[in-house]
Chain A
Amino acid sequence: MLLEIAGSFLAVVAFCFILNTPRRHILFAGLTGAAGWALYLVLETRDMDAGAATFISGCLASLCAQLLARFLRTPVTVFVIPGILPLVPGAGMYHIVDSILRSDGLASYYATQTLVAAGMIAMSIIVMDGLFRLLFKKKGEAYVDCR
């Protein structure tokens, strides 16, 4: 499991170079992604449903992202995009195509799984962003960080 978490950290850090993330934020972005993936792995070994596990670990990743963005005064997407990256259901997309090619009849199952995972990522971002906007509401609140 340690190898997998280290892998996710390295993957997110390397992906930050593709996205041209500002240098000073790359380490934090990598930690955000690794934290989300570590929680996902823990929940998966506890036999939790993949959708629920994605939601909870997505919440952790976007919680970290929101805190870091407020702390370091940068747009929140700088951390959210790398943070949720390991959770994006690339595996699901592969399994859909694979089962169509094998014609084993599992394509619809994998399609549902993939859609649920994508929806859960979206829900986790929505929940955390909503909470933070509720708690840190200012008069004339702007989305661009203007403090």
Chain B
Amino acid sequence: MNYKLLLDTAVTAGELMLENGAETYRVEDTMHRMLSLSRLQTAEVFVTMTGFVATLDDPSIHSLTVVRRITDRGTNLDMIDQLNTISRRLCTGDLELKEAFRQVSELKKRPWKPQAFLVSTPVVTAAFALTYGGTLPEAFVSALTGLVTAACLYACRRLRIQAFFGTLLSAAAASMLAAGLFRVFPGFGSLDAVVIASIMPLVPGVAITNAVFDTLHGDYLSGTARMLEAFVTAAAVAMGIGIGLGVS
């Protein structure tokens, strides 16, 4: 067996999973399963939220160790689902190692498409305005603020602005627009539902879920890190609303 290729496959898969918002225990488990296919004496992985170490060792070979640092984190559930399938098929012998490596590398090359994000954020905010008891005009205003939120988030991502400030700026822009619109056209309804709906794409739902699952599976290090992430994101959103409402 080509140990180098096996390690490369596992490392690329782990990297992609961490970057796309998989829980830490899932990354650790997936990589460990892949490396265990080598049947070497030592096949160890240690994963945290911000990077990992993987090593393969045996008296018969020179030891192989890889360290990777993960800096960008987003959420792409499709990627996690596909990597999960690839690793399952590799472990059951359904898939050749070379083929698995090819599929994983192909996933890595796939570009991030912003269209779906830009189109669906206004729909999300409009629908959330209805969810939280808003009227149809309020939903319409929410769609406008959602468009601003999406554009702001996209611009911050393009300009490589830190996630904290990206969230803060988006929340500020959305709530400023909402407050400004209601000042000019007071007959539209109440501000509450619109602001709540337009921050919903920014709230840390993913971070809360992953924090729970990591903590639950005994990975307290990542669990607390993600809990902190949730709090920091929430604080950014709150500050953004404060700035937006305070200014206008």
Contacts and interface: CB of A to CB of B under 8 A. Distances in A.
B29 A143 contact: yes
Interface residues of B, number: 61
A74 B26 CA distance: 12
A19 B76 contact: yes
B211 to A, nearest CB: 7
A109 interface: no
Contacts of B213: 76-77, 80, 125, 129
Contacts of A89: 203
A88 to B, nearest CB: 5
Interface string B66-106: 00000000011111111010011001100000000000000
Contacts of B210: 77
B52 interface: no
A91 B120 contact: no
A77 B217 CA distance: 14
Interface string A70-91: 0000111110110011101111
A137 to B, nearest CB: 14
Nearest to B193: A91
Contacts of A97: 238, 241-242, 245
Interface string A1-16: 0011011111100110
Interface string A106-128: 00000000000010011001100
A10 B146 CA distance: 15
B117 interface: yes
Contact of A22 (B81, B123, B196, B209): B81
B180 interface: no
Contact of B77 (A11, A20, A93, A129): A20
Contact of B246 (A3, A21, A91, A101): A101
Nearest to B75: A19
B9 interface: no
A69 to B, nearest CB: 10
A108 B91 CA distance: 51
Given A20-B116, A91-B196, A94-B241, A75 B203 contact: no
Interface residues of A, number: 51
A72 B80 CA distance: 14
A61 to B, nearest CB: 11
Nearest to A9: B127
Interface string B206-237: 10111111001100000000000010001001
Interface string B133-163: 1000001000000000000000000000000
Given A11-B131, A122-B208, A144 B88 contact: yes
Contacts of A17: 116-117, 119-120
B79 A145 contact: no
A4 B130 CA distance: 5
B133 A4 contact: yes
B203 to A, nearest CB: 5
A142 interface: yes
A7 to B, nearest CB: 3
A145 B128 CA distance: 32
Given A11-B200, A78-B77, A144-B87, A18 B130 contact: no
Interface of B: 22-23, 25-26, 29-30, 33, 75-82, 84, 87-88, 91-92, 116-117, 119-121, 123-124, 127-133, 139, 192, 195-196, 199-201, 203-206, 208-213, 216-217, 230, 234, 237-238, 241-242, 245-246
13 contacts: A4-B132, A11-B124, A18-B124, A19-B75, A19-B206, A75-B84, A85-B205, A94-B192, A96-B238, A101-B242, A101-B246, A122-B211, A145-B84
